Structure 1
Amino acid sequence: MWTQINQTYATHHGQNAWGNLAANSTGWRKIGPNAPDGVTNVFLMLVAAKASNKQAYVVQDSNNQITAAYF
């Protein structure tokens, strides 16, 4: 789905990154822990979309975790 990114959040813990999605009041969604680099890359896409004030296309799995993003 295409959506604005309201906020992003990450901690120093491995594979712990989140995005707050505007679409349909989705709210906070965890970036699915597939692989450390994968979580980092998806998080950076969300950060870049937020920083440039552009919509991102976000893919979620059946657990509502973000598995991919691009803009």
Structure 2
Amino acid sequence: MWTKINQVYSSPHQMNAWAHLVGTNKWHKVKPIAPDGVTNTFLILATAKGADRQVYVTTENGADITAVYM
């Protein structure tokens, strides 16, 4: 789905990154498949938020973010 990002969140804990999406109005965790994948996905989400741009977000069962396209 094409959407904008309300907020992004990450912590120093391993593979812990989240995004609050406008289209669903809830927090979605970046699926922790691989450390680099979580980092790269979070960077795209944060860049989209900072630039106020839409991204295409793919989720697994409407919950975990599995892919992001900008």
Q: Which runs of 5+ in 2 are unaligned?
A: none
Shift of 1:47: 0.3
Equivalent residue, structure 2, for 1:6: 6
Equivalent residue, structure 1, for 2:43: 44
The whole-number CA distance in structure 1 between the counterparts of 2:51 and 2:6 is: 12
TM-score, normalised via structure 2 length: 0.95
* Percent of aligned positions that are identical: 49
Q: How many residues align?
A: 70
The whole-number CA distance in structure 2 between the counterparts of 1:6 and 1:63 is: 17
**Which consecutive aligned stretches of 4+ in structure 1 deviate over 4 angstroms post-superposition?**
none
Deviation string for 1:3-55 (max 9, x for gaps)?
01000000000000000000043x10000000000000000010010010000
Q: Which runs of 5+ in 1 are unaligned?
A: none
**RMSD, matched Cα:** 1.0
